[in-house]
Amino acid sequence: MRILLVEDDRPLADAVCAYLRAKAFAVDVAYDLAGARACLPAARYGAVLLDLHLGDGDGLALLPQIGVQSERPIVIVLTARDQVSDRIRGLDAGADDYLVKPYDPAELLARLRAVERRRAGTAPVLRLHEAVEIDLARDEVRRGGEVVVLTHKEWALLRAMAARPERIHTRETLQDALYAFDDEADSNTLEVFVSRLRRKLGRDAIQTLRGLGYRLVPDAPRAEAP
Protein backbone atom coordinates (compact mmCIF):
# COMPACT_ATOMS: atom_id res chain seq x y z
CA MET A 1 0.00 0.00 0.00
CA ARG A 2 1.20 3.51 -0.78
CA ILE A 3 0.56 6.05 1.96
CA LEU A 4 0.51 9.83 2.03
CA LEU A 5 1.50 11.18 5.44
CA VAL A 6 0.45 14.82 5.93
CA GLU A 7 2.23 16.07 9.04
CA ASP A 8 3.91 19.41 9.75
CA ASP A 9 5.94 18.15 12.72
CA ARG A 10 9.02 17.08 10.75
CA PRO A 11 10.71 14.91 13.42
CA LEU A 12 7.43 13.06 13.99
CA ALA A 13 6.81 12.74 10.26
CA ASP A 14 10.30 11.37 9.70
CA ALA A 15 9.91 8.84 12.54
CA VAL A 16 6.50 7.61 11.37
CA CYS A 17 7.70 7.46 7.77
CA ALA A 18 10.75 5.37 8.74
CA TYR A 19 8.58 3.02 10.80
CA LEU A 20 6.02 2.44 8.03
CA ARG A 21 8.70 1.95 5.38
CA ALA A 22 10.30 -0.68 7.61
CA LYS A 23 6.90 -2.42 7.56
CA ALA A 24 6.98 -2.56 3.74
CA PHE A 25 4.76 0.44 2.97
CA ALA A 26 5.66 3.02 0.33
CA VAL A 27 5.30 6.42 2.01
CA ASP A 28 5.26 9.97 0.66
CA VAL A 29 5.38 12.86 3.13
CA ALA A 30 3.77 16.29 2.80
CA TYR A 31 4.44 18.88 5.48
CA ASP A 32 1.59 21.21 4.54
CA LEU A 33 -1.64 21.46 2.56
CA ALA A 34 0.10 22.72 -0.56
CA GLY A 35 2.42 19.72 -0.64
CA ALA A 36 -0.45 17.30 -0.05
CA ARG A 37 -2.52 18.85 -2.82
CA ALA A 38 0.38 18.35 -5.21
CA CYS A 39 0.87 14.71 -4.18
CA LEU A 40 -2.75 13.50 -4.35
CA PRO A 41 -3.26 13.60 -8.14
CA ALA A 42 0.22 12.21 -8.82
CA ALA A 43 -0.18 8.74 -7.25
CA ARG A 44 -2.71 6.10 -6.23
CA TYR A 45 -2.78 6.19 -2.45
CA GLY A 46 -4.27 3.45 -0.35
CA ALA A 47 -4.30 5.65 2.75
CA VAL A 48 -3.87 9.26 3.84
CA LEU A 49 -2.69 9.96 7.39
CA LEU A 50 -3.90 13.47 7.98
CA ASP A 51 -2.79 15.94 10.64
CA LEU A 52 -5.49 18.55 11.16
CA HIS A 53 -3.49 21.57 12.28
CA LEU A 54 -1.08 22.42 9.47
CA GLY A 55 0.92 25.56 8.95
CA ASP A 56 -1.11 26.66 5.94
CA GLY A 57 -4.58 25.56 6.99
CA ASP A 58 -6.94 22.88 8.28
CA GLY A 59 -6.17 19.34 7.16
CA LEU A 60 -9.87 18.65 6.67
CA ALA A 61 -9.74 20.98 3.67
CA LEU A 62 -8.11 18.06 1.82
CA LEU A 63 -11.09 15.74 2.21
CA PRO A 64 -13.00 17.01 -0.87
CA GLN A 65 -9.92 16.40 -3.03
CA ILE A 66 -9.38 12.99 -1.46
CA GLY A 67 -13.03 12.12 -2.07
CA VAL A 68 -12.80 12.56 -5.84
CA GLN A 69 -10.01 9.99 -6.25
CA SER A 70 -11.02 7.08 -8.49
CA GLU A 71 -10.70 4.82 -5.45
CA ARG A 72 -10.97 6.77 -2.23
CA PRO A 73 -8.04 6.17 0.14
CA ILE A 74 -8.44 5.26 3.78
CA VAL A 75 -8.25 8.47 5.84
CA ILE A 76 -6.97 8.43 9.41
CA VAL A 77 -7.05 11.77 11.20
CA LEU A 78 -4.19 12.63 13.56
CA THR A 79 -5.24 15.09 16.24
CA ALA A 80 -4.14 16.60 19.53
CA ARG A 81 -5.09 14.86 22.78
CA ASP A 82 -7.58 17.39 24.19
CA GLN A 83 -9.36 18.41 20.99
CA VAL A 84 -12.36 16.08 21.02
CA SER A 85 -14.21 18.44 18.69
CA ASP A 86 -11.54 17.85 16.01
CA ARG A 87 -12.07 14.10 16.18
CA ILE A 88 -15.81 14.55 15.76
CA ARG A 89 -15.32 16.96 12.86
CA GLY A 90 -12.96 14.56 11.13
CA LEU A 91 -15.28 11.57 11.43
CA ASP A 92 -18.31 13.60 10.40
CA ALA A 93 -16.39 14.88 7.37
CA GLY A 94 -15.69 11.34 6.17
CA ALA A 95 -12.50 10.18 7.89
CA ASP A 96 -12.37 6.43 8.60
CA ASP A 97 -10.65 6.66 11.98
CA TYR A 98 -8.67 9.02 14.19
CA LEU A 99 -5.61 8.73 16.40
CA VAL A 100 -4.75 10.99 19.30
CA LYS A 101 -1.29 12.52 19.63
CA PRO A 102 1.11 11.51 20.98
CA TYR A 103 0.67 8.05 19.53
CA ASP A 104 2.74 4.92 19.14
CA PRO A 105 3.48 4.13 15.46
CA ALA A 106 2.55 0.51 16.21
CA GLU A 107 -0.97 1.62 17.14
CA LEU A 108 -1.18 3.65 13.94
CA LEU A 109 -0.19 0.55 11.98
CA ALA A 110 -2.79 -1.58 13.80
CA ARG A 111 -5.56 0.91 13.06
CA LEU A 112 -4.48 1.16 9.44
CA ARG A 113 -4.64 -2.61 9.05
CA ALA A 114 -8.02 -2.79 10.80
CA VAL A 115 -9.60 -0.16 8.54
CA GLU A 116 -8.04 -1.80 5.49
CA ARG A 117 -9.51 -5.20 6.35
CA ARG A 118 -12.88 -3.74 7.28
CA ARG A 119 -13.18 -1.80 4.06
CA ALA A 120 -12.05 -4.70 1.87
CA GLY A 121 -14.25 -7.17 3.73
CA THR A 122 -11.41 -9.69 3.85
CA ALA A 123 -10.63 -12.16 6.59
CA PRO A 124 -7.36 -11.68 8.48
CA VAL A 125 -5.99 -14.89 6.95
CA LEU A 126 -6.16 -15.47 3.19
CA ARG A 127 -5.58 -19.00 1.86
CA LEU A 128 -4.13 -19.62 -1.59
CA HIS A 129 -3.12 -22.58 -3.72
CA GLU A 130 0.06 -24.39 -2.68
CA ALA A 131 -1.07 -24.40 1.00
CA VAL A 132 -0.17 -20.72 1.35
CA GLU A 133 -1.66 -18.65 4.18
CA ILE A 134 -1.29 -14.86 4.26
CA ASP A 135 -1.93 -13.32 7.68
CA LEU A 136 -2.47 -9.60 7.12
CA ALA A 137 -2.84 -8.89 10.83
CA ARG A 138 0.55 -10.37 11.69
CA ASP A 139 2.45 -9.57 8.49
CA GLU A 140 3.17 -13.26 8.16
CA VAL A 141 3.10 -15.76 5.31
CA ARG A 142 3.19 -19.55 5.68
CA ARG A 143 3.43 -22.32 3.14
CA GLY A 144 2.65 -25.81 4.30
CA GLY A 145 2.76 -24.54 7.86
CA GLU A 146 6.29 -23.12 7.50
CA VAL A 147 7.01 -19.39 7.70
CA VAL A 148 8.04 -17.89 4.35
CA VAL A 149 10.68 -15.17 4.63
CA LEU A 150 9.96 -12.24 2.32
CA THR A 151 11.87 -9.05 1.63
CA HIS A 152 10.15 -5.72 2.30
CA LYS A 153 9.33 -5.22 -1.38
CA GLU A 154 8.07 -8.78 -1.81
CA TRP A 155 5.76 -8.34 1.16
CA ALA A 156 4.60 -4.92 -0.09
CA LEU A 157 3.64 -6.48 -3.42
CA LEU A 158 1.93 -9.49 -1.85
CA ARG A 159 0.08 -7.32 0.65
CA ALA A 160 -1.24 -5.04 -2.10
CA MET A 161 -2.79 -8.04 -3.85
CA ALA A 162 -3.95 -9.78 -0.67
CA ALA A 163 -5.80 -6.68 0.57
CA ARG A 164 -8.13 -7.02 -2.47
CA PRO A 165 -7.72 -10.66 -3.52
CA GLU A 166 -10.75 -10.69 -5.81
CA ARG A 167 -9.32 -7.97 -8.04
CA ILE A 168 -7.06 -7.95 -11.06
CA HIS A 169 -4.22 -5.62 -10.06
CA THR A 170 -2.76 -3.60 -12.89
CA ARG A 171 0.94 -3.00 -13.28
CA GLU A 172 0.46 0.69 -12.49
CA THR A 173 -1.46 -0.02 -9.27
CA LEU A 174 1.19 -2.44 -8.03
CA GLN A 175 4.02 -0.07 -8.93
CA ASP A 176 2.31 2.60 -6.84
CA ALA A 177 2.10 0.20 -3.91
CA LEU A 178 5.83 -0.52 -4.15
CA TYR A 179 7.45 2.86 -4.69
CA ALA A 180 7.27 6.34 -3.21
CA PHE A 181 8.37 9.42 -5.15
CA ASP A 182 11.99 9.22 -3.99
CA ASP A 183 12.40 5.52 -4.81
CA GLU A 184 14.08 4.32 -7.98
CA ALA A 185 12.53 1.50 -9.99
CA ASP A 186 13.66 -0.28 -13.14
CA SER A 187 11.07 -0.98 -15.80
CA ASN A 188 11.12 -4.74 -15.17
CA THR A 189 11.31 -4.63 -11.37
CA LEU A 190 7.68 -5.65 -10.87
CA GLU A 191 8.12 -8.80 -12.94
CA VAL A 192 11.24 -9.66 -10.94
CA PHE A 193 9.33 -9.44 -7.65
CA VAL A 194 6.41 -11.47 -9.03
CA SER A 195 8.88 -14.14 -10.13
CA ARG A 196 10.47 -14.21 -6.69
CA LEU A 197 7.11 -14.55 -4.99
CA ARG A 198 6.19 -17.46 -7.24
CA ARG A 199 9.41 -19.24 -6.31
CA LYS A 200 8.57 -18.83 -2.62
CA LEU A 201 4.80 -19.36 -2.72
CA GLY A 202 4.39 -21.67 -5.70
CA ARG A 203 3.87 -20.79 -9.33
CA ASP A 204 0.08 -21.28 -9.09
CA ALA A 205 -0.36 -18.76 -6.26
CA ILE A 206 -0.23 -15.73 -8.60
CA GLN A 207 -2.00 -15.62 -11.95
CA THR A 208 -0.90 -13.41 -14.84
CA LEU A 209 -3.68 -12.08 -17.04
CA ARG A 210 -1.90 -10.87 -20.13
CA GLY A 211 -2.54 -7.22 -20.87
CA LEU A 212 -4.50 -6.79 -17.63
CA GLY A 213 -2.32 -7.53 -14.62
CA TYR A 214 -2.02 -10.02 -11.77
CA ARG A 215 -4.23 -11.58 -9.16
CA LEU A 216 -3.93 -14.12 -6.38
CA VAL A 217 -5.46 -17.56 -6.84
CA PRO A 218 -7.52 -18.55 -3.79
CA ASP A 219 -7.51 -22.06 -2.44
CA ALA A 220 -10.34 -24.16 -3.85
CA PRO A 221 -13.13 -24.79 -1.33
CA ARG A 222 -13.00 -28.23 0.18
CA ALA A 223 -15.90 -30.58 -0.32
CA GLU A 224 -17.73 -31.47 2.84
CA ALA A 225 -17.61 -35.07 3.99
CA PRO A 226 -20.88 -36.98 3.37
Does residue 30 carry a pLDDT above 90?
yes
Residues 57 and 114 in one domain: yes
Does residue 220 carry a pLDDT above 70?
no
Does residue 57 carry a pLDDT above 60?
yes
pLDDT higher at 73 or 117: 73
CA–centroid distance for 10 within its chain:
22
Residues 96 and 53 in one domain: yes
Q: Please, which pLDDT band fits residue 82 given cuts at 50, 70 and 90?
A: low
State the Cα–Cα distance between residues 47 and 163, nearest whole angstrom: 13
Does residue 221 carry a pLDDT above 60?
no
Angle at 203 between CA 192 and CA 118, to 5 degrees: 85
Residues 110 and 151 in one domain: no
State the Cα–Cα distance between residues 52 and 58, nearest whole angstrom: 5
Q: Write out the residue range of the structural domain in which residue 143 sits.
A: 125-216
Does residue 159 carry a pLDDT above 80?
yes
Per-chain mean pLDDT for the chain: 85
Residues 152 and 197 in one domain: yes
CA–centroid distance for 189 within its chain:
19
| Dihedral, 10, 11, 12, 17 alpha carbons, nearest 10 | 80
Residues 184 and 80 in one domain: no
Mean pLDDT of 129-135: 86
Q: Please, which pLDDT band fits residue 113 given cuts at 50, 70 and 90?
A: confident
105, 120, 135: which is the final residue of a domain? 120
Nearest-10 crossing angle of helices 10-22, 105-120: 60
Does residue 151 carry a pLDDT above 50?
yes
Q: Picking from 26-30, 110-114, 219-223, which range would have the lowest pLDDT averaged per residue?
A: 219-223
Which percentage of the chain shows pLDDT scores above 70? 90
Q: Which residues contact 108 (CB under 8 A, 6 or more apart)?
A: 16, 49, 76, 99
Cα distances from 112 to residues 37, 76, 83, in angstroms, run 22, 8, 21
Q: Which of 91, 87, 116, 115 is nearest to 101 (CA)?
A: 87
Residue 224 domain flag: no
Collapse the DSSP code of 142 into the 3-class scheme (helix H, G, I; strand E, B; otherwise coil) and give the result.
Answer: strand
Mean pLDDT of 24-42: 92
Residues 87 and 149 in one domain: no
CATH of the domain at 159: 1.10.10.10
70, 88, 120: which is the final residue of a domain? 120
Mean pLDDT of 83-95: 81
Structure confidence at residue 143 (pLDDT) = 93
CATH of the domain at 48: 3.40.50.2300
